[in-house]
Structures are given as structure tokens and as C-alpha cells.
């Protein structure tokens, strides 16, 4: 059986196109530095997914299992819906990246002397951390953009989730 690895430039799988982006890489590094986010030795890869992850999902964090870690070298994969990403402004992109990174947890276990990586459970603490500093307009911008882009009715607009 052949092993399939993602091409680091562009790959199409099941009608989804996965693209690396230097913009994502730079923004990830900038947000981590600006907000003093420590993920220890975690290896993170970032992708734009075209046309989208889903109509109601602007971003997604995947914690790599040991097989994915073995083949990709990554501990986390951060995905962003490409069409939505292309439509939002730089400030909203920054806040979406910040919110997404906050879902990655890296904890050093002194007992085993190993790093443990996990995804934080959805909670509003991260959202309020950003909202206190940036306001909540960025979240509304993401919802409104997704709603407009995918012709969601008003009741579904509120289902565009960052958690």
C-alpha cells in the first residue's frame, strides 16, 4: 500500500485544496511573539483549505496522532477556510489566528520529563481574552463574511463558530 504525503505547496484531496502560505507562517510567528504564546517544541503546520473547511468553520486545529506525527513531523495542524480568509481584513486575520493558536496546548510534564500536546476544550475564556483587548467586532466580521460568502440565512449566521 502506498503512503500518501501532502505536497507542501498544493494538494487536492476529496474536492478540498490544501495550500501552504507564507502569509500564514509569518502571521503565526508574529502572533506567538506579540502575545507571548509558548508551545514548547511543538511543530505546527498551517494550511489554507479551499474552498473551505466548512461553511460554518473558519478555522480548525488538529492535534496530530502518533502516525500523523511520524509522517508529517507535526504536533498540530492549523487549517483556515481559504475563501473566507481571502475576504477578511488583516486585523480580523490576526485575531482569527490568535484565537486558533489559543486552542493549542503544550504542557511539560515534570514527572515524565516529556511535553504533552493537546487541544483545549471549547471555552469562552480565550474568546474573552481577545475580546477584552480587541473588542468583539472581529468575530462578527467573520460571521458576517461567512454568511455573505455562503448565503447563510440569519439563523445560521450565528452558527459560524470559532470554538
| 10-154: CATH number | 3.30.2010.10
In the three-class reduction of DSSP (H, G, I as helix; E, B as strand; rest coil), residue 98 is classed as helix
The pTM of the full predicted model, rounded to 2 decimals, is 0.86
Q: For cell 504536533, what's the residue? A: 75
pLDDT confidence tier of residue 127, bands split at 50, 70 and 90: low
User: What is the per-residue DSSP string for 36-59?
Assistant: T---TT--EEEEEEES-SBTTBSE
Mean predicted confidence (pLDDT) in 131-147: 83
- Per-residue pLDDT reduced to its tens digit, 65-114: 999 999 999 999 999 999 999 999 999 999 999 999 999 999 999 999 99
In the three-class reduction of DSSP (H, G, I as helix; E, B as strand; rest coil), residue 8 is classed as coil
Grid coordinates of 38: 509558548
Distances (CA, A) of 105 to 15, 110, 131, 140, 161: 30, 16, 20, 26, 20
> Would you kindly state where each structural domain of the chain is located, as residue ranges?
10-154
- What b/e string do you get for 136-149 counting C-beta neighbours within 10 Å, with b at 16 or more? eebbebbbebbbeb
pLDDT above 60 for 1:
no
Grid coordinates of 4: 500518501
Amino acid at each position: 500500500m502506498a503512503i500518501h504525503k501532502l505536497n507542501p505547496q498544493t494538494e487536492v484531496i476529496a474536492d478540498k485544496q490544501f495550500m501552504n502560505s507564507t502569509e500564514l507562517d509569518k502571521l503565526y510567528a508574529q502572533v506567538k511573539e506579540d502575545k507571548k504564546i509558548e508551545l514548547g517544541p511543538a511543530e505546527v503546520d498551517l494550511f489554507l483549505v479551499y474552498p473551505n473547511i466548512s461553511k460554518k468553520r473558519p478555522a480548525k486545529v488538529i492535534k496530530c496522532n502518533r502516525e500523523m506525527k511520524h509522517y508529517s513531523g507535526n504536533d498540530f495542524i492549523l487549517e483556515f477556510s481559504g475563501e473566507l480568509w481571502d475576504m477578511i481584513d488583516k486585523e480580523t486575520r490576526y485575531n482569527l489566528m490568535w484565537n486558533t493558536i489559543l486552542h493549542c496546548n503544550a504542557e511539560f510534564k515534570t514527572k515524565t520529563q516529556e511535553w504533552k500536546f493537546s487541544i483545549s476544550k471549547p471555552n469562552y475564556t480565550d474568546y474573552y481574552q481577545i475580546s477584552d483587548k480587541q473588542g468583539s467586532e472581529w468575530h462578527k466580521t467573520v460571521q458576517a463574511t461567512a454568511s455573505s460568502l455562503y448565503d447563510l440565512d440569519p439563523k445560521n449566521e450565528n452558527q459560524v463558530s470559532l470554538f
